Chain A
């Protein structure tokens, strides 16, 4: 077993552990922090898979911006502890369990069908995931979706500024 594989499993354990922590935490602030830990672990996983650009974009966008806003909102609304069980959304629990089982079956089926086709961990070639490679991909193959997304985000940013002007 290579070092990378070992690190991969340790990170996977941390990610799953943090995800479970987020789900079962009764304190909203802790739940947000567990989610941040999941995001950071995913970023390190991208790093191991040879995609540094993606890893750092993940940290900047998810851990750095979106989750800070989550934390901000939680603090403004008042971070109270969640009720222990039941509550107004109690009916969601059996539904969620059923959907989870369905999803697990799907994952196992997909894994069984594709297990031979899975690549090796060190399969990335040189230059894969570098900023230049990603840039080329974005501006050639995915030009239209990329431009549409960037215009959408720019409109949202300008709109936010305009909204504050009453």
Chain B
């Protein structure tokens, strides 16, 4: 590893973190405005034109709030838990290809942080670490509602991870690679959603469960758990949980776009490579809207139904998809 390579990595990583943080801030705004429209309200529109400065106002408010630690909480883990939650959310974005090769001041640059040959496995691995932050937040708060939220999230995430990982196998088999860049490149002519509709649906549902979005937001169910694992958190620590959730929504949307919706491909990308990130942005916008739409439409599942759905519907469907894809590839010769 040379120094210049390290420098390029550092710059790319900083840009990625900046994009994700901006994405987090405006995903909250996007969600509030979209949900308001669906519920025939207006939504935040006072701070700046069309309320565009609302995320900044919220951020400043949260920074100045008191960060309260309950007297009987486990102070070390209580402080660490939000950090442990937010780190995997950032890490998971490292393997997402945002675009192809683009000309950049006379050189060609790759619009991804890294292209590892086990990227899909990396997504599963990092995603599986995300549960620790939430479980520890629930436990260290020393509050029964928090603990219940933490336990629910542990059971839920372990269950849905299985379907999530198995749904990844379909695109991997068709592309013949575990690298996300190669999987996107294999979709140049036909998007994988055409070959893998079942895997797409399973992955989409499991991804919602992974990021604890409605209808799978049992760990933080306000009505029964008064907030769940983050009941005792306030100020920036509270904001970190929401940062993790929204960054994961954005990252999961990007991963779904890359796996099933052709990633950065779209009309005219070959001629103008800089269109790639634009298409990616549009696809992410649509998928995030889908997540918001679902939240505004569907009620929360009952907890036993949620587990039964994961194990008795999603998991067999994902297995079936692996089987069908493998047989199809053997019969049709790839």
Query: With the chains together, A53 CA to B77 CA distance in Å?
Result: 30
Interface 1/0s, chain B 111-150, versus A by CB < 8 A? 0000011100110111111011001100100000001001
Query: Assuming A56-B121, A69-B158, A75-B151, is B311 touching A64 (CB within 8 A)?
Result: no
B-binding segment of A11-19, A98-106, A108-116, A156-164 = A156-164
Q: How far does the alpha carbon of A69 sit from the alpha carbon of B157 in the complex, in Å?
A: 11
* CB neighbours of B154 from chain A (8 A): 68, 71-72, 75
A76 to B125, CA, bound (A): 25
Contact in complex: A64, B128 (CB < 8 Å): yes
Q: Decide: A160 near B311, CB < 8 A? Known: A68-B132, A75-B139.
A: yes
State in angstroms the CA–CA spacing of A59 and B121 once bound together: 10
Question: A29 at interface (Cβ–Cβ under 8 A)?
Answer: yes
A65-B158, A160-B311, A161-B315 known; A76 and B128 CB under 8 Å? no
Query: B151-170, CB under 8 A of A: which get 1 and which 0?
Result: 10011011001100100000
- Chain B residues near A56 (CB-CB < 8 A): 118, 121-122, 124-125
Contacts of B125 in A (CB 8 A): 56-57, 59-60, 63-64
Closest-CB distance, A74 to chain B (whole angstroms): 9
Provide the residues of chain B in CB contact with A157, threshold 8 Å. Answer: 162, 315
Q: Mark B163-202, 1 if CB is under 8 A from A, else 0.
A: 0010000000000001000000000000000000000000
Q: Specify which chain A residues have a CB less than 8 angstroms from the CB of B131 in the assembled complex.
A: 64, 68
Whether the Cβ atoms of B158 and A161 lie closer than 8 Å is: no
The prevalent SS among residues of A at the interface is helix
Interface: A149 (CB within 8 A): no
Asked if A80 is an interface residue, CB under 8 A from chain B, the answer is: no
Chain B hits for A52, CB < 8 A = 116-118
Q: In the complex the two chains form, is A161's CB within 8 Å of B312's CB? A: yes
Structural contact, A68 and B157, CB atoms closer than 8 A: yes
Asked if A79 is at the interface (CB within 8 A of a chain B CB), the reply is yes
User: Chain B: interface residue count, which band?
Assistant: 20 to 34
Partner of A71, one of B74, B122, B124, B135: B135
- Tell me if B56 counts as interface (CB < 8 A to partner A): no
Q: Which residues of B contact A79 (CB under 8 A)?
A: 139
User: What are the nearest 5 A-B pairs in CB distance?
Assistant: A64-B128, A59-B125, A56-B121, A60-B125, A56-B125
| Residues of B that sit less than 8 Å from A by CB | 74, 77, 116-118, 121-122, 124-129, 131-132, 135-136, 139, 147, 150-151, 154-155, 157-158, 161-162, 165, 178, 308, 311-312, 315-316
Q: Could you list 25 examples of A-B contacts with CB < 8 Å?
A: A33-B77, A52-B117, A56-B121, A56-B122, A56-B124, A59-B125, A59-B128, A60-B124, A60-B128, A64-B124, A64-B128, A64-B131, A68-B128, A68-B132, A68-B154, A71-B132, A71-B135, A72-B151, A75-B139, A79-B139, A131-B117, A131-B118, A131-B178, A157-B315, A161-B311
Interface residues of A (CB under 8 A from B): 29, 33, 36, 52-53, 56-57, 59-60, 63-65, 68-69, 71-72, 75-76, 79, 130-131, 157, 160-161, 164
Given contacts A57-B121, A63-B125, A164-B312, 20 further A-B contacts (CB under 8 A): A33-B77, A33-B136, A56-B118, A56-B121, A57-B125, A60-B124, A63-B129, A64-B124, A64-B129, A65-B128, A68-B135, A68-B157, A71-B132, A72-B151, A72-B155, A75-B139, A131-B121, A161-B316, A164-B308, A164-B311
